[in-house]
Structure formats: C-alpha cells, structure tokens
C-alpha cells in the first residue's frame, strides 16, 4: 500500500486552503500514484477569529472541503483521509475537529472527532484554548482500507498513549495523525512522540502536519511541519521537507506482523488501559 502525506500552510482563507489541498493531492497522484492520501489537521481553516472559524465550518456530510476530498477520492480512485475539517455542531457555537475518510468510489467510510483538546500555555507564554470553540469527540475509530486496518487520531491526541493502545487493540496496523503542532512543542516533542507511539503500538504512524505561519487575532503563530511516516520498529521511513508539499512511502502489513512476533508486547500487557 502506497501512502502519501500532504503538508500544508493553511490560513484564514477557506477557498485558498481547499485549492492548495486539491493541488497537492493532484501532485501526489501525478508523481507517486498513491493508494491512500492523508491531509493535515484543519486543512480547511487556520487562524482568524472564533466567529470566522464558526462561519467557515461545514455541515457533515457536505460543504466545500468535504466535497473536494470526496471528488478527489472518486476521480483519482484513491482513499482520502481528509485530515480534519471544522464540522459545525448543531445548536451550538462550537465545531468538531473532524476527520472524514473516503474510499476509491468517494463513499464516506469513517468519521473521527478529536477527543483530546489542546488547552495549554506553552513555555513562551502563548495560550491555546481549543475547548473554547471545539467540542470533544468520544469514539475510538478504525476502518478497513482494502485489508489494512487504519486507526484515527488528531494532533494533541498524540500525547495520550492509551488512545493509541485502544486503536491497536481494535486491530490498527496504521495510525493516521493529521496535526498542527506549534513550532515550540514540535521541535522538542513531535518526532519523539510519533516514534514512541509507533514503537509502543507496533504500527505504522502516518503523521501529516501543518507548516509555516498563520495569523490568530493580532498575533502570528508558527506550525512545525516535519510530516513523517514511521514504521513499527520506530524508524522514520519518509520525511517531508520544509514548506508545503508531499511525501510518500510504501506501507507493508507484513512488517507489522514481523515486529509483533519479535516483541509481542500486546500479549505481555498486564494492566488495563487507564490503570
């Protein structure tokens, strides 16, 4: 199975973001002919105000970001794991941070809403309060991709290994992680955490990130990028360059079986999740 990660620099312009995502998916198809494509977190919108983000949110199914990804899947006969989009919550002034997955016919086959919300103050004093405008999901989601089981997580979820163990328990051989790590947390934690989750679960980790700057209110913020695919042994097998672009690698489910046979950690576990 050939997998492509799309790395983007989304901003507070929905039409431009969708056009960039479309162009990069088409670039991946032209250059690498992937079976499966992953976009980054909230590829449809970054920055602006909470009111602008809410106004740009979509009813799922439907909306321009959703329909573009569906069209790309159907037109190019690929699976599209549509990073995440801002999904309007009916009756509330909040959105879900939602991954939607389409098969080669453009049919929606999975939907995951981000469980862990990024409510932190980074060491440089910048406050992030995702829960102000995002509602948390509560379901652990996997789906079948022509015999390969793929698990879904988003960005800050990466810091919660119990979710990844739950995905592995549900049979995940690959875990998709669309993300928008900050520059500061990214440079210190991104690769360490992505590789750790791959090693712990003995799965492939496909992590597609946002890169570059966007404007939030009166401040400019930076995302880290460095999208990567890590194999079940914890080795980085593909890594994106700086800036928007595409990186591609093959994923072999036999590698998952081999590593799990060598070090059968899942059989050795003694404590229940959360203990």
Active site residues: 41, 114, 155
- Any idea how long the chain is? 275
Taking the C-alpha atoms of residue 115 and residue 163, their distance in angstroms, rounded to an integer, is: 9
Residue-wise DSSP of 157-187: GGG-HHHHHHHHHTT-SEEEEEE--BHHHII
Give CA separation, 143 vs 19, 137, 148, 167, 244, in Å. Answer: 27, 17, 8, 10, 27
Q: Which two tokens stand for residue 167?
A: 């995905």
Residue 145 β-bridge partners: 148
Contacts of 93 (CB under 8 A, 6+ apart): 54, 133
Q: At what angle do helices 64-76 and 14-32 cross, to 10 degrees?
A: 10
């Amino acid at each position: 199975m050939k997998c492509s990660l799309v790395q983007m620099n989304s901003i507070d312009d929905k039409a431009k973001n969708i056009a960039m995502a479309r162009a990069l998916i088409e670039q991946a198809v032209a250059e690498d002919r992937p079976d499966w494509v992953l976009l980054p977190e909230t590829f449809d919108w970054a920055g602006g105000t909470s009111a602008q983000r809410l106004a740009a949110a979509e009813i799922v199914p439907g909306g321009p970001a959703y329909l573009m990804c569906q069209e790309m899947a159907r037109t190019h006969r690929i699976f599209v794991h549509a990073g995440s989009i801002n999904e309007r919550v009916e009756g509330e002034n909040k959105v879900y941070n939602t991954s939607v997955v389409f098969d080669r016919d453009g049919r929606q086959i999975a939907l995951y809403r981000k469980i862990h919300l990024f409510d932190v103050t980074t060491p440089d004093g910048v406050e992030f309060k995702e829960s102000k405008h995002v509602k948390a999901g509560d379901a652990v989601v996997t789906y079948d991709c022509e015999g390969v089981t793929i698990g879904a997580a988003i960005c800050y979820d990466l810091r919660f290994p119990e979710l990844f163990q739950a995905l592995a328990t549900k049979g995940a051989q690959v875990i998709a992680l669309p993300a928008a790590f900050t520059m500061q947390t990214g440079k210190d934690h991104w690769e360490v955490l992505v590789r750790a989750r791959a090693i712990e679960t003995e799965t492939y980790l496909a992590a597609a990130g946002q890169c570059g700057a966007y404007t939030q209110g009166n401040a400019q913020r930076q995302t880290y990028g460095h999208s990567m695919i890590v194999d079940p042994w914890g080795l980085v097998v593909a890594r994106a360059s700086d800036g928007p672009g595409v990186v591609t690698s093959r994923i072999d489910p036999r590698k998952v079986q081999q590593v799990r046979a060598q070090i059968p950690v899942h059989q050795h576990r003694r404590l229940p999740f959360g203990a």
